[in-house]
Structure 1
Amino acid sequence: MKKTNAMRLLDSLNIKYETKEYECDGIHLDAISASLAANINPELVYKTIVLKGSSNTLYVFVTPAEFEIKLKKAKELTGEKELALLPLDSLLKFTGYIRGGCSPLGMIHKYKTFISDLAQLEDKIYVSAGQRGTQLYLSPEDLRISCDGEFADFI
């Protein structure tokens, strides 16, 4: 398996992780579809959402696949008056990743990262490895450490 930036980051920090590969058809790119294709409990799969604030600052939110971000809570966390999804045509430019393969780890720039506090209820969770068809399985605390993130309530 080819190492992704996310895997290289974890390796450099000596953080243990497992990988799970699955068939990705390039059409069904959401986290729920990934969990079904990988035969993983969807409650353990977390998606990476990049939001852009009115100040033009980007923020990364790592949220359970089955939940949506509450923008009011996200605005309170970031101090932004407005937040919107980063347009898909800008995702690669600002993160180094594409839709369906966006990892919260190893982005080309470092962004403030918020991880759903629900992750702390699990021993390990899945996040994208940074390429379609591959998930990383690691502890929420190791994820927090490796992306210099913080646990927060935003769903």
Structure 2
Amino acid sequence: MSKKVAKTNAMRLLDTHSVPYREIVYDIDDGEIDGMSVCRKVGAEPAMFFKTLVAKSREKKIYVLVIPVLEHLDLKKAAKVIGEKHIDMVEVKELLGLTGYIRGGCSPIGMKKAYPTYYQQSLLNHEEIVVSGGRQGLLIGLAPADLLLMTQGKTADLIVR
């Protein structure tokens, strides 16, 4: 028994471009929305479940960085890849205004603006990866090539080693 899921900006954009994806709905009533808890709830392998992070340069230029959910972003490495001297994570209170999404529901697809987007290169090792669907309690599974195309994304090594 599955209930109808209200479309998010991410889903509408994928539908408009006829990009195949699958919806994965999970319960958030327990407050457990951290990566490991969500992986457990939906039965996803952590290596194929990616989180969306948003950073900014000192000049306030915004960047989207998408890495495996259990990994940690290396800000110095990411700044070098992007071509900036220094980047910092945006504050949670800035996220909605910049992206149209809230913490725990930030999708790399369908943000308010098309920001430069970089993915941990390991996404290419999977036939399908999972990202936020645009709100807490909703994930989207899709082919990495489709995700890269929809976001004009680039791949690089972005994580702490």
Q: 4+ residue stretches of structure 1 with deviation over 4 A?
A: none
**Correspondence for 1:146:** 150
Residues 12-37 of structure 1: per-residue CA shift (max 9 Å, x gap): 11110001101013733322222122
**Correspondence for 1:80:** 84
Distance 2:20 2:91 in 1: 32
Instruction: State percent identity of aligned pairs.
Output: 38
**Structure 1 runs not aligned, ≥5 long:** none
**Correspondence for 1:13:** 17
For the 8 Å contact 2:76–2:87, the answer to whether it is kept is: no
Q: TM-score normalised to the size of structure 1?
A: 0.95
**Structure 2 runs not aligned, ≥5 long:** none
TM superposition shift of 1:140: 0.6
For the 8 Å contact 1:22–1:134, the answer to whether it is kept is: yes
Residue 89 in structure 1 maps to residue 93 in structure 2: yes
Pick one of 100, 106, 109 that aligns with 1:102.
106
Residue 37 in structure 1 maps to residue 27 in structure 2: no
**Correspondence for 2:123:** 119
RMSD: 1.1
Secondary structure of the 1:129 match is: strand
For the 8 Å contact 2:76–2:86, the answer to whether it is kept is: no
